[in-house]
Chains A and B, each alone.
Chain A
Amino acid sequence: MLRYAVERLIQAIIAIFGVLTIVFVVMHLSGDPTLLLVPQDASAEMIAQLRSQLGFDRPIWVQYLEYLGGLAHFDFGISVVQRVPAFDIVVSRLPYTTMLAAGALVVAIGMGIPAGIVMATRRGGWLERLLTAIVVTGQSVPTFLSGIVLIFVFGVTLRWLPTSGSGDFASLIMPSIALGAISMSTFARMTRISIIDELGKDYVRAGRARGLSLGSVVFRHVLRNAAIPVITIAALEIGNLLAGAVIVETVFAWPGIGQLAIQSIQSRDFLVVQVIVLLISFVYVLTSVIADFVYALVDPRIRLVR
């Protein structure tokens, strides 16, 4: 167990290192921020001068080594766009992202898993059809559209919820729904399939043969066993949520990491992007390690291989 954990940790560090390298290279291939920083009437010499002041005229490997050198003592550098430490910029957005991800997960799991259970146990019924339609809607409406529809219906027309902002709980509701909708479908489908898989197994037949009702079999045994694939998905969905957050946060003016990420890529604010990527891959690795251990807890038969 301990050896496994250590091995896993080393591999995780290598993975994060790989992510940083890939993003660093791709970012630098896509240009640098100088042209976006200078006023439009700058001369070519001025641009060259600023570029060299900012250090972007050096070979990429020199910049990379310098970056790694900084990382070695936890220096993430200063954003060339905002002239503030990149790490501080990202950290200030973290609470918002955490709130939104939590809200979206509550929507996704709270609606997705019950929907999946019903869809699996009431196969062929009208309720399944209805739920399928709802789930598919969540999966087929782009968030930039669902977001603005929510804003106009509940914000402008009904005036129930604030149209944008991040100050209070009320303003969290609509972004969570818009963001959670896609993951909700994933949870519903995954739950449905896992339960159907389990229902076909011998122990269920045996239980049913002993006269147990479908409901009690499902709730006593099936759910526990069906949980494993769902946990896997939950871990993966956190990554998906962060990606979806890019657009949802833009629409709802929610000041999270997603919005920051897209703006920083667009403004070629390399160091901020690097911190974000570092953070996301860290969270990703962490959740997938946790998911592995949760498997082991839920089902001790599972050997820890990976």
Chain B
Amino acid sequence: MSTAVLALRQRLRRVPLSVIVVSIIFLVIVLLAIFAPWVAPADPNRQNLLGRLKPPGFEMRGITYWLGTDDLGRDLLSRTLYGAGVSLSVAVLSVVVSSLVGVTLGMIAGWFRGKIEILIMRLVDIMMSIPAILLAVLTVAVLGPGFLKLVLVLGLTRWPRYTRVAYAQTLQVANLPFIKASELAGAGAARILFHHILPNIAGPVLIVATAEFGLMILMEAGLSFLGLGIQPPASSWGSIMSVGRQYIERAWWIVAFPGVCLFLLVFSVNVLGDWLRDQLDPRSRSR
């Protein structure tokens, strides 16, 4: 392990500029999300019915609305800042839940094979053949709305993607000589799975996770569009955009700013994910 860390450190010295820029963007978004209560100029839920749908720079009663106001006269800058936290945590938590469940099941199926393999992989088939958004809508109808339930719904509908990848990779890795060796040396299944197999399948899993990260934000947005996402007055970037789309001619700024933020976030996560994966995968170092 330690040699791998050393090698990684060595590689980090040659970090391309784009990755540095992207890391900064990502970090800034995360920091803004965390410190939104201190950074935001106004209460994100404070309405001002006389100042609805006003453009960026609008001033009223001594308050400047730098990014304009939404359909209830709320400060869009503050809402976008607070929304960052909601969008990020929905995405991060649901990716964590789904990858934990998915990777564990995938490794189990790939390592133990036999009946448990068939059981898990057929369950994957079942889950994958129900469109996630339909399953999510159905589950929200049963469980009711709410932040944690949302994370649970997203997490529990998306795990099969990780399972497929983890399973396929485990099958490949399981036959590598060093794994065979440690198995012969009497290492337990848990030790082999988490110490030897997991690090070797992390690259492909990371690819799925970075793709899923953006998709989770979009899924939440989609549920918001259907009125089943995050509960108002709390906002996510997705829910701000799903409200703003009907004002697109009259107040373009409502969708524009969360949209740009979402783009930057997904962009930085993708670039970072690709780069990290390249670093983890020894084969792809060459150009």
Contacts and interface: CB of A to CB of B under 8 A. Distances in A.
Tell me the interface secondary structure of chain A in the complex. Answer: helix
A199 B283 CA distance: 9
Given A140-B266, A199-B284, A246-B222, 7 more contacts: A22-B126, A140-B218, A152-B248, A193-B274, A243-B132, A246-B131, A246-B134
A242 B131 contact: yes
A243 B132 CA distance: 6
A200 B203 CA distance: 15
Interface string B140-180: 01100000000000000000010000000001000000000
Interface in B271-287: 271, 274, 277-278, 281, 283-287
A140 B121 contact: no
A127 interface: no
Contacts of A114: none
B128 interface: yes
B248 A148 contact: yes
Q: Please list the 7 inter-chain residue pairs (A to B) with the smallest Cβ-Cβ separation, ordered nearest first.
A: A243-B131, A281-B129, A284-B129, A140-B266, A30-B141, A200-B283, A142-B221
B16 interface: yes
Nearest to B157: A243
Contact of B222 (A133, A137, A142): A142
B118 interface: yes
A27 B121 CA distance: 24
Interface residues of A, number: 62
A240 B208 CA distance: 14
Interface stretch (B47-55, B100-108, B238-246): B238-246
Interface residues of B, number: 57
Interface of B: 16, 18, 118, 121-123, 125-126, 128-135, 137-139, 141-142, 161, 171, 207, 211, 214-215, 217-218, 221-222, 225-226, 238, 241-242, 245, 248-249, 255, 259, 262-263, 265-267, 270-271, 274, 277-278, 281, 283-287
Contacts of A29: 142
B129 A200 contact: no
B141 to A, nearest CB: 4
A52 interface: no
Interface string A1-32: 00000000001101110110011001101110
Given A27-B138, A247-B222, A139 B270 contact: yes
Interface string A161-197: 0000000000000000000001001100100010011
Give the interface centre of B121, B137, B238 by most chain A CB atoms within 10 Å.
B137
18 contacts: A15-B122, A15-B125, A18-B126, A22-B130, A129-B18, A137-B263, A140-B266, A142-B221, A144-B241, A144-B245, A182-B215, A186-B211, A197-B281, A199-B284, A236-B128, A246-B131, A281-B129, A285-B125
Contacts of A124: 16, 287
A280 B130 CA distance: 7
